[in-house]
């Protein structure tokens, strides 16, 4: 019977030692867990900052692309008008007076 009491006492001592060890381990790990939480918070803030910057860059890129498209259209319109200029000048030639037999005549009036 004495062996049973000694075994029970030994199990109780082992459980107490387990509880004390677990408490010390938890207390020792608490600062490390807090550091990990602070690190996670810093990373989250940096991620939010990067997302904000990405949004701003995307908006700026869209504005630049819109501006480039507008300027491209403007330059192309100017080129198209410049290409049509010789034809326009040829159209004006018929309204200009011409020299016929030493006299200027106006083609529109027929003089």
Q: What would the pLDDT profile of 63-87 be if each residue is shown by its tens digit?
A: 999 999 999 999 999 998 888 877 7
- Decide which of 36 and 110 is more confident: 36
Section 88-100 average pLDDT? 67
Supply the pLDDT for residue 106: 54
- Residue 105 sits at φ, ψ, to 5 deg, of -125, 150
Round to whole Å and give the CA distance between 9 and 15.
Answer: 10
pLDDT category at 111 given cuts 50, 70, 90 is very low
Supply the pLDDT for residue 81: 87
- Tokens standing for residue 55: 């949004």
CA 76 to chain centre: 29
Supply the pLDDT for residue 1: 86
Q: CA-CA distances (angstroms) from residue 71 to 49, 67, 76?
A: 33, 6, 8
CA 70 to chain centre: 21
- Decide which of 100 and 57 is more confident: 57
């Amino acid at each position: 019977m004495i062996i049973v009491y000694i075994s029970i006492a030994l199990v109780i001592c082992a459980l107490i030692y387990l509880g004390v060890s677990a408490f010390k381990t938890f207390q020792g790990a608490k600062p490390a867990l807090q550091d990990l939480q602070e690190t996670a918070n810093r990373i989250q803030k940096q991620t939010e900052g990067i997302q904000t910057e990405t949004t701003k860059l995307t908006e700026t890129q869209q504005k630049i692309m819109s501006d480039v498209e507008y300027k491209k259209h403007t330059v192309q319109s100017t080129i198209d008008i410049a290409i049509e200029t010789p034809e326009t000048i040829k159209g004006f030639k018929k309204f200009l007076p011409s020299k016929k037999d030493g006299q200027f005549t106006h083609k529109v009036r027929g003089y």
